[in-house]
């Protein structure tokens, strides 16, 4: 039976991936910081779907986190058929006034760990000439976003990186997909420190996490390189910057995201 490894699996889109893949009969390795949440989710999925679920409680912002996760999977003798790099965090506010350590953690989690895990698990997939990697980017990755600068920059990196890997690995039977959701029904914006009025505004365009997951898995099956799931407004968000000067796009978001 195939095995999927999901980072950031304890809540939000990661938990939705776990639920959907379990319903399709896939065994799971769930990775996140919270052991209690992971264990509760694992127990529920095992009972409901009669699958095997392993949990790895690991803070991926810690040094060598990717190596620790990979070594634990290797020690169990598992071959990962689908890697879902979902873990990520953001931070709202003026970069110069932000917590520097937090900004570096965002880069560590959103990009460095993603690259490290991808490199480690990709080797086996290429040898087996089969496998899939889903990297969670965002509609934010298509444009610069003042007051959300580090997050948007990391998502742009993920988008470009995933497109490149998609082209490199297609002939090896490995599909690499960048999933670029817009606002989703998670606690992301509150945890990133967005003002309440902005949270209320973006909540009107929320895409259900189930929709994000199902659109992503459909795109993976079709061997697409990019998918923008859910609400049609997300297609507008990723395409409108193509028609305007880059500084105009940045200035628009500076106005839209500024504190009132």
Which pLDDT value is given to residue 202?
79
151 carries an active-site annotation: yes
Please tell me the number of Cα atoms within 13 Å of 257 on its side-chain side: 21
pLDDT, averaged in runs of 10, over the chain (260 residues): 93 97 98 96 97 97 95 95 97 96 97 98 97 97 96 98 98 98 86 86 86 97 96 91 95 90
Residue with tokens 């189930």: 210
Question: How far is 132 from 154, CA to CA, in rounded Å?
Answer: 21
Pair of tokens at residue 222: 């079709």
In whole angstroms, what separates CA 63 from the centre of its chain? Answer: 20
Which pLDDT value is given to residue 1?
59
Question: How far is 150 from 89, CA to CA, in rounded Å?
Answer: 10
Which pLDDT value is given to residue 250?
95
pTM score? 0.95
Domains in the chain and their CATH numbers? 3-257 (3.40.50.720)
From 49, 147, 151, 172, active-site residue: 151
């Amino acid at each position: 039976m195939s095995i999927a490894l999901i980072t950031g699996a304890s809540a939000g889109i990661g938990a939705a991936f776990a639920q959907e893949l379990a319903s399709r009969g896939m065994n799971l390795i769930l990775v996140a910081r919270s052991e209690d949440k992971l264990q509760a989710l694992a127990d529920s999925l095992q009972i409901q779907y009669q699958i095997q679920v392993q949990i790895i409680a690991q803070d991926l912002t810690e040094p060598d986190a990717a190596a620790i996760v990979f070594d634990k999977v290797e020690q169990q003798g598992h071959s990962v058929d689908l890697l879902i790099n979902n873990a990520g965090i953001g931070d709202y506010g003026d970069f110069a006034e932000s917590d520097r350590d937090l900004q570096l953690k965002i880069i560590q989690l959103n990009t460095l760990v993603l690259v490290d895990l991808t490199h480690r698990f990709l080797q086996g997939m290429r040898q087996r000439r089969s496998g899939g990697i889903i990297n969670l980017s965002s509609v934010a990755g298509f444009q610069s976003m003042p007051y959300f600068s580090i997050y948007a920059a990391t998502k742009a990196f993920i988008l470009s990186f995933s497109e490149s890997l998609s082209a490199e690995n297609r002939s090896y039977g490995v599909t690499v997909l960048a999933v670029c959701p817009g606002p989703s029904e998670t606690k992301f914006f509150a945890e990133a420190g967005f003002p309440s009025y902005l949270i209320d505004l973006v909540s009107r365009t929320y895409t259900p996490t189930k929709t994000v997951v199902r659109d992503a898995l459909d795109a993976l099956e079709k061997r697409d390189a990019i998918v923008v799931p859910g609400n049609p407004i997300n297609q507008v968000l990723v395409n409108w910057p193509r028609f305007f000067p880059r500084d105009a796009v940045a200035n628009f978001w500076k106005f839209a995201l500024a504190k009132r």
